[in-house]
């Protein structure tokens, strides 16, 4: 699986990593525990099974024309399922929504990419940065737990910019920078 991801400016990345540390310090699931060198705060725009060179060229052009894009983090959301997720929500600003839809349509219209996950389709996409995840995550079943609420106090609004993008290959666990 290949994904197209936006990366935040340095100050926003620092703020997200701070929340990761706060969750970890409280013994909660946190991306701070994920030590792979590719792990960093990001926003997934789209994923596909394959990304041929001509499709990447189109994605690169769209990203180069659009970035930077305003970024605003506000509030948290919990998802349960096979893997439980705690995430910082990203305000869906118009520029971000246009960029997301453009990238998603490029991948959708390229037959070599395979099927796209329906949850990343423009009508369903919930922009977010993952803060913690795990099969046994306590906060997914009890978000009112005091330690989660205490960490949540740090989830005030953060503004910045999406300044760069990358491609992540989940099979090889490698990234390729797309836009510096």
Contact 112, 52 (CB under 8 A): yes
**Could you state, in chain order, the average pLDDT of each consecutive group of 10 residues for the chain (180 residues)?**
91 94 87 82 91 88 95 87 86 96 93 80 93 71 49 72 85 64
Per-residue pLDDT at 53: 84
Backbone angles phi, psi at 155, to 5 degrees: -90, 35
Residue 97, strand partner residues: none
Q: Tally the C-alpha atoms within 13 A of residue 168's C-alpha that lie toward its C-beta.
A: 20
At how many degrees (to 10) do helices 53-66 and 94-109 cross?
170
- Cα–Cα dist 99/95, whole Å: 6
- Candidates 3.30.1300.10, 2.60.120.10, 3.90.1140.10, 3.40.50.720; correct CATH number of 2-179? 3.90.1140.10
Determine the pLDDT at residue 146. 44
User: What DSSP letter does each residue of 2-67 carry, written as one string?
Assistant: EEEEEEE-HHHHHHHHHHHHHHHHTT---GGG---TT----EEEEEES---HHHHHHHHHHHHHH-
- What is the per-residue burial (b if ≥16 Cβ within 10 Å, else e) of 160-179? bbbbbbbbbeeeeeebeebb
């Amino acid at each position: 699986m290949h994904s197209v991801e936006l990366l935040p400016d340095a100050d926003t990345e620092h703020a997200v990593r701070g929340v990761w540390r706060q969750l970890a310090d409280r013994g909660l699931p946190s991306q701070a525990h994920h030590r792979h060198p590719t792990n960093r705060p990001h926003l997934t725009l789209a994923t596909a099974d394959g990304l041929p060179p001509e499709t990447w060229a189109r994605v690169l052009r769209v990203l180069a024309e659009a970035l930077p894009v305003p970024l605003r983090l506000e509030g948290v959301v919990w998802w349960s399922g096979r893997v439980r997720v705690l995430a910082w929500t990203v305000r869906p600003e118009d520029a971000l929504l246009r960029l997301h839809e453009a990238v998603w349509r490029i991948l959708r219209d390229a037959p070599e990419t395979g099927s796209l996950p329906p949850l990343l389709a423009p009508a369903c996409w919930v922009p977010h940065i993952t803060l913690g995840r795990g099969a046994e995550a306590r906060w997914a079943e009890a978000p009112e737990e005091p330690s989660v609420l205490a960490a949540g106090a740090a989830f005030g609004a953060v503004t910045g910019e999406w300044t760069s993008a990358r491609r992540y290959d989940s099979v090889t666990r490698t990234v390729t920078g797309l836009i510096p």
